[in-house]
Amino acid sequence: MDSNYTIYIVEDDAATRLLLDNALSKKYVVELFGSGETCLERAEQKLPNLFLLDVGLPGIDGYEVCKMIRETQEWKDIPIIFLSAHDQPEDAWAGYDAGGQDYIVKPFDAGELRRKIEILRQLENEKTILQNQLKFSDELASVVLSSLDEYGILIKFLRTLNECADHQDVVSAILELHQLFHLEPVIQIRMRNLERTCSKNGLNWPLEVAVLNNVRNLDRIFTFKNRAVFNFDHITILITNMPIENAERCGSIRDNIAIVAECAEAKLMALQNVIDKSEMRDELHSLLRALEHIVHDYSKNYDAARVKGSLHTAKLLDELLATLAHVGLSEQQEEQILDMVKARTYELVDLYDIAGEAQATLADLSKKLGNILSSTEKTSLK
């Protein structure tokens, strides 16, 4: 048992409480509650590492319990997982609005539940590290904001974006810009073989992933309450704390973040293009090596066949002359037969010459392919 990790399970159904206790008590310290009120009373005495809340509780429901936890300063950062029999998108949205980290639909799989708890533990550890870094960044941001206006911040971002070497650099640049604007973003990057969601909570926070997967196919830019979403093919940015009380600043932020998202989209497209070209060069290199092997083997087999053909032809002529000497043909008949054999022999030699042309063609193709590869690599270095 991991004695340092405590889970408060709030579930009004006795059978489900028993299932949850059996699934988790071997690894974690588990305390069971039949209502939100009794759980909150216990939390006044001792705080857990994780709340596991049923949504449909008697009295105050799971969403309300979550909101009360989030409104209490000492409790607000404790992870919360919701359990619910409802699987509609609006239910997950309600969990996200209340402040939950994950949403599990009943009936649940015990192994999947334990896996999600371990993911949240890892994310909490990463979040602690990130918060320490953000604390320093916020202090630096306050100094920077005193000397830079929003346009200056945007120009600095564009310069940084131009120097980004991969998608991680792009995400870091966007996060830095939002820190300077005092905004809390959730960023989802979508490359051909990669998809990542990042925020102050860390990487691939489950409920954030679910929410962005739900909104990324909606309008290019839209707002709801104090949130704003900016959608492009390779990136979605969700801002969770738009200053809606200040319409002018809210509009300015919306315009600036739209520029940020569009420029980030262009950079990600360029990075994907570089990756595609690199993969194409690798494929061409493989093709070139295969072609070189083919030319080498073809040349070797061609030379061997030509030598064997010449030997067989000479032997055939010698045997034919020896045979004709004993057949008793006239001199004219012997000449006719020899001429016919020689003609066919010359035709055979011509076939070898054609094969030689094919060999030369393959060698020329290999050389041109090598030149193309060399040219593309020089271009990419520029």
Pair 236, 287 in one domain? no
Chain center to CA of 172: 16
Does residue 80 surpass a pLDDT of 90? yes
CATH code for position 172: 3.30.450
DSSP string, 155-177: HHHHHHHHT--SHHHHHHHHHHH
Task: Specify the pTM.
Answer: 0.54
Q: Are 7 and 49 in contact (CB under 8 A)?
A: yes
Strand 227-231 relative to strand 235-239: parallel, antiparallel, unpaired? antiparallel
Measured from the Cβ of residue 198, the count of other Cβ atoms closer than 10 Å reads 21
**pLDDT number for residue 40:** 94
Pair 132, 269 in one domain? yes
Pair 208, 282 in one domain? no
CATH code for position 44: 3.40.50.2300
Average pLDDT over residues 217-242: 92
Pair 131, 266 in one domain? yes
Among candidate residues 124, 147, 173, the one where a domain is terminated: 124
Pair 343, 230 in one domain? no
Pair 159, 246 in one domain? yes
Q: Are 180 and 174 in contact (CB under 8 A)?
A: no
Q: Chain-wide mean pLDDT for the chain?
A: 82
Element (H, E) at 59: none
**pLDDT number for residue 138:** 64
Does residue 298 surpass a pLDDT of 70? no
Q: Are 109 and 80 in contact (CB under 8 A)?
A: no
**pLDDT number for residue 146:** 44
As a whole number of Å, the CA-based R_g of the chain is 37
**pLDDT number for residue 375:** 63
**pLDDT number for residue 147:** 41
Grade residue 143 by pLDDT with cuts at 50, 70 and 90. Answer: very low
Pair 309, 343 in one domain? yes
**pLDDT number for residue 139:** 58
Among candidate residues 231, 253, 274, the one where a domain is terminated: 274
Question: Which of 147-161, 270-284, 342-356 comes out lowest in average pLDDT?
Answer: 342-356
Residues 52, 273: Cα–Cα separation, whole Å: 44
Q: What is the dihedral of CA 67, 68, 72, 76, to 10 degrees?
A: -40
Does residue 365 surpass a pLDDT of 80? no
Pair 237, 318 in one domain? no
Structure tokens at 213: 């997967």
Pair 109, 58 in one domain? yes
DSSP string, 252-291: HHHHHHHHHHHHHHHHHHHHHHHHHHHHHHHHHHHHHHHH
Q: Are 226 and 240 in contact (CB under 8 A)?
A: yes
Structure tokens at 73: 């300063």
Among candidate residues 238, 255, 274, the one where a domain is terminated: 274
Pair 16, 135 in one domain? no
Q: Are 359 and 298 in contact (CB under 8 A)?
A: yes
**What is the number of domains present in the chain?**
3
Residues 374, 333: Cα–Cα separation, whole Å: 62
**Domain region containing 347:** 276-381
**pLDDT number for residue 344:** 67
